[in-house]
Amino acid sequence: MSNSALLTDLYELTMLAGYFEKGMHEKPATFDLFFREAPYLGSYAVFAGLEPALDYLSKLHFSDRDLEYLASLGIFKPSFLAYLKNFRFHGRVIAPAEGTVVFGHEPLLTVEGSLAEAQFVETALLNIINFQTLVATKAARLTVTAGDGEVIEFGLRRAQGPDGGLSVARAAYIGGVRSTSNVLAGQQFGIPVKGTHAHSWIMSFPDELTAFRAYADCFPDSCVLLVDTYDTLESGLPNAITVARELREKGHELLGIRLDSGDLAYLSREARRRFDVAGFAEVKIVASNDLDEHVIHSLRDEGGRIDIYGVGTRLATCAGEGGGALGGVYKLVRFDDQPRLKVTSDSSKSTIPDRKHVLRAIDPDGNFSMDILCREHEQLRPGDLLYDPTNPARRKQLPADIRLENLRQTVMEDGCILHDAPSLDQLADHCAAQLKRMPAGSLRLINPHRYKVAISPQLHQLREELIHQHERLDRLCPDESK
């Protein structure tokens, strides 16, 4: 992604200029980045985007060209522009590992530093984390639904621009889609690249069999034939079997065929039957054509015999009910050494104040039970009352038979990245292991089990105290416009 400091909303700069003019810019501040509702009407999200986010923070600066442009806007004073010349991020970032399963209302990133630096990075961090987390979540839903089947990312031509195409390939890999058609993503991230050919290849030759033979001649050990250009059953499959026999006679094997239209469940069953009868049980069946997790579920439910699913548009654009965008927000939770709370008439949008830990409760079987937000130095004990962050009337006691794990760690200190980035394989393995530990029903596509996120007794008490403080201030300073 672009590391330009101007990859931001104008209001970040006007606020920064205001803080500078009022002498507030060096005061300490803490912000939390979180979402309230999981995407796709699901129960979870897969955290992604941390490495590019840290890369952005570590390189943040205003170039001479940036400052010249800001000066040309005519809204910033010379003293502020001079301040920006040496502006850097020197703060702390606390986060889970990429590939971690995360839930609504719990902070993904916590950013601590001066008010100036912690506030300014809001837009860029939301841009990176929102999109890559959404893609990784979509990818996880696809791979869970595909079961033993493989999913390939085919979405570059439908992605939101070149950078979007790269971000999709990276984040999808973390979510479990471990190959892509995007050659640049293969180069930059080491992702295996895969592909077949287009219908235009077939149409460029006098007939389909000639086209198949030409492709097999060019790529005898990686040949996947697209069989639906003219007639899948009457032409495509018989010709593919002919080429498979010819390849075997030369010491090679046909790798697979691709279906890109028609009744994919029926056609894949028939293709599997014909190749098995012909002695080619190892030939893979690839399917594409506007697939998503719901279509894949339907294909498997109908007895489809598909080995590999090529998913393009609906992965690259994160399409689906409740998808399209992750509603991540970035809120001030502590300022000038005092906890801060956003109070709103919609109680579900009230923030959770102050620095906090995110603890994951693990049951005796090693599975995830619930997540708990608590204050920094709070010690939780069995029997403590835990509160629903959106409805304090809903509460439960902390069970005695669980153990608590801290979900996050400090990943950046004084603007420096503390650890080498894990490989994408490590992150994808971490995600797969996390998904296996989810409670029963949490991975369902329709009406999934809702994973519980709770706040601790001390955090609940602090929140209530701050709400009452705001209510007292409202009574002392009534709004005369009401």
Query: Which pLDDT does position 348 carry in this prediction?
Result: 62
User: Closest Cα to residue 83, out of 111, 114, 53, 52?
Assistant: 114
The 10 Å Cβ neighbour count of residue 324 is 12
Among 90, 120, 111, smallest CA distance to 17 is for 120
Q: Are 179 and 150 in contact (CB under 8 A)?
A: yes
Q: What is the pLDDT of residue 475?
A: 66
Model pLDDT, residue 165: 97
pLDDT, position 51: 98
67: tokens are 């400052």
Write the burial class of residue 161 (CB in 10 Å: 0-12 exposed, 13-18 middle, 19+ buried).
Answer: exposed
Kindly state the tokens that stand for 44.
Answer: 């979870």
Mean pLDDT of successive 10-residue segments in the chain (482 residues)? 86 98 98 97 97 98 98 98 98 98 98 98 98 98 98 95 96 98 98 96 98 98 98 98 98 98 98 98 97 98 98 96 89 97 75 97 97 96 95 92 97 97 98 97 96 97 91 66 44
- pLDDT at residue 392, rounded to an integer: 87
- Per-residue pLDDT, 385: 97
Of the CA atoms within 13 Å of residue 175, those in its CB half-sphere come to 36
Contact in structure between 52 and 132 (CB atoms under 8 Å): yes
- Distance (Å) of CA 150 to CA 64, 168, 221: 48, 17, 19
Residue with tokens 């502020």: 80
pLDDT score recorded for residue 347: 63
3-state secondary structure of 52: helix
| Residue 444, number of CB atoms within 10 A of its CB | 12
Q: What is the pLDDT of residue 350?
A: 82
The reported pLDDT for the residue numbered 254 is 98
> Residue 482 and residue 470: Cα distance in Å, rounded?
17
Helix axes 122-146, 50-59, angle to 10 degrees: 160
The identity of residue 37, as a single letter, is E
Query: What's the confidence (pLDDT) of residue 357?
Result: 98
Q: Enter the pTM of the model.
A: 0.95
